[in-house]
Amino acid sequence: MRDDRAQVSGGDLQRLRQLNSLSSIRALRAARRPLTLTELAAITGLSRGSIVDVAGDLRERGWIAEVEPAPGSMGRPARRYRFRADAGHALGIDIGVHKILAAVTDLSGHMIASGRISVDAGAGRAARLDAVSRAVEAAMVAAGLTPADMWGVAAGTVGVVNRQGEITRVEALPDWQGADLLGHLAELLPCPIAVENDSKLAALAEQRFGVAAGVRDLVYLHAGRRPGAALILDGRLYHGYGGGTGEVGLLRVTGWPDMARHLEECPVAEGAPPEDAAALVFGAARRGDAAAKAAVRAYAEDLALGTAAMVLTLDPELVVLGGGFSRSADVLLGPLRRALEPHCLRVPQVRSSTLGDECVVLGAAGFALDRIDQRFFSPEGAISRPAAPLRTT
């Protein structure tokens, strides 16, 4: 290796530039504020020459923008750049039993607009897919964007979803199993499309934007009429071999299969339809009704048993209480914490979901953004000019 220059082939140089652009764009995005070239050079460890070169190139290609110097700065102010989160967009979809929600976000996951459609629990596959189409269209209209503006799409659906995005098992919606959701979305949107289980995406949302921000190991509890769970392990959404994770509640000894009866059989819910029982009981418990509080305690004890099975298996830092019942966290969280203690070696923190109704759709958009990242902002990616990428499903 005598003469430096002579050793660098064109291909090698291309690769080097790709890596420099990548580290710069990542640094600007992570900073969440404009950076000067000096700051950028310090963070990336690149030479001043390379940074000037990379910044000009990325700006030319629309990935970063120069911002006005801070007002009142004296002398000749240093140029500052920001990541252009508006350079592209992602679409998240939440396909639930009672509603379809679609949301358009920018590249930082900020929600720009959404469309929501209520569907009947008994609606068939075709009607549900049609509602998906309309919710997606509504979200794009509201955002003033077209399918060509979407760089990535992810949909969260009830049921077990395998790595191919196929819906392999659904309890809640009999004729939804095997629905070609991927194919249906591919008709609507000319970009990469992903389908994942809704609780998994809710867990991802809590880690990205919610109560689990920064937590690397957590169990997300979906507490509702159909209890379930999802896992974030080592900072990443855990899918499992076939996607059927978090199903410990199917084990009879956990008490999950019929823990709802504690609420449905509570006197304060007498005569009410089962789907309303929980709200009535939580409400009565909130007002101090003794029978209701006992029912919530009994429910929490069953919930804690299945949760303890996951906690003892995974030793997570945090358990997030999500799902419909998390709206009553004020009366459920305490009993759940107390019921966990006798079972656990180390009782994890237990917090309630804060994202509520938008949890799944935000997680879906975040999931789509991850795959955009892999395409554009990874050593394997292509940091070309922003544009709707070719359909790759």
Task: Give me the helix-helix angle, 37-44 and 10-31, nearest 10°.
Answer: 110
- Whichever of 13 and 141 has its CB closer to a copy of itself, that residue is 13
- Does 231 engage in binding with a copy of itself (CB under 8 A)? yes
Distances (CA, A) of 304 to 248, 300, 339, 352: 12, 6, 6, 14
Residue 75 interacting with a copy of itself (CB under 8 A): no
CA 10 to chain CA centroid, nearest Å? 40
Each residue of 15-47: b (16+ CB within 10 Å) or e? eeebebbbbbbbbbbeeeebbebebbbebbebe
Cβ atoms of 205 and 213 closer than 8 Å: no
Residue 247 contacts a copy of itself per CB under 8 A: yes
236 part of the interface to a copy of itself, by CB under 8 A: yes
Interface segment toward a copy of itself; rule CB under 8 A; list 96-104, 138-146, 180-188, 245-253: 245-253
CB of 349 to a copy of itself, least distance (A): 10
Tokens 């009981």 identify what position?
281
Nearest residue (CB) to a copy of itself, 153 versus 305: 305
* 166 lies in the site for a copy of itself, by CB under 8 A: no
Q: Which residues between 108 and 127 bind a copy of itself (CB under 8 A)?
A: none
Q: Is 47 among the residues that bind a copy of itself (CB under 8 A)?
A: yes
Q: Is 26 in the site for a copy of itself (CB under 8 A)?
A: no
Out of 42, 67, 250, 382, the residue judged to bind a copy of itself by CB under 8 A: 250
Is the sign of the CA dihedral 250, 254, 255, 259 positive or negative? negative
Contact 250, 256 (CB under 8 A): yes
Whether the CB-CB separation of 297 and 259 falls below 8 Å is answered with: no
Position 59 contacts a copy of itself (CB under 8 A): no
Residue of the chain from 82, 216, 261, 337 that contacts a copy of itself (CB under 8 A): 216
> Could you say which of 28, 259, 308, 361 contacts a copy of itself (CB under 8 A)?
308
> How far is Cα 184 from Cα 222, in angstroms, rounded to an integer?
27
Is 233 a binding residue for a copy of itself by CB under 8 A? The answer is yes
**Which residue of 242, 267, 274, 356 would you call a contact of a copy of itself, by CB under 8 A?**
242
Q: Is 42 in the site for a copy of itself (CB under 8 A)?
A: no
Footprint on residues 360-379 left by a copy of itself (CB under 8 A): none
By beta-carbon proximity to a copy of itself, the closer residue of 68 and 234 is 234
203, 206, 208, 318 from 235: Cα distances, Å: 11, 12, 10, 12
When binding is defined by CB under 8 A, the residue of 12, 66, 120, 357 that contacts a copy of itself is 12
Residue 83, Cβ density class (10 Å: 0-12 exposed, 13-18 middle, ≥19 buried): buried
**Residue 314 binds to a copy of itself (criterion: CB under 8 A):** yes
Q: Is the dihedral of CA 136, 161, 360, 179 positive or negative?
A: positive
Instruction: Give the three-state DSSP class for 22.
Output: helix
> Residue numbers of the site for a copy of itself (CB under 8 A)?
1, 4-5, 7-13, 15-17, 19-20, 45-47, 49-50, 53, 57, 160, 169, 216-217, 229, 231, 233-234, 236, 238-251, 253-254, 305, 308-310, 312-317, 343, 345-346, 348
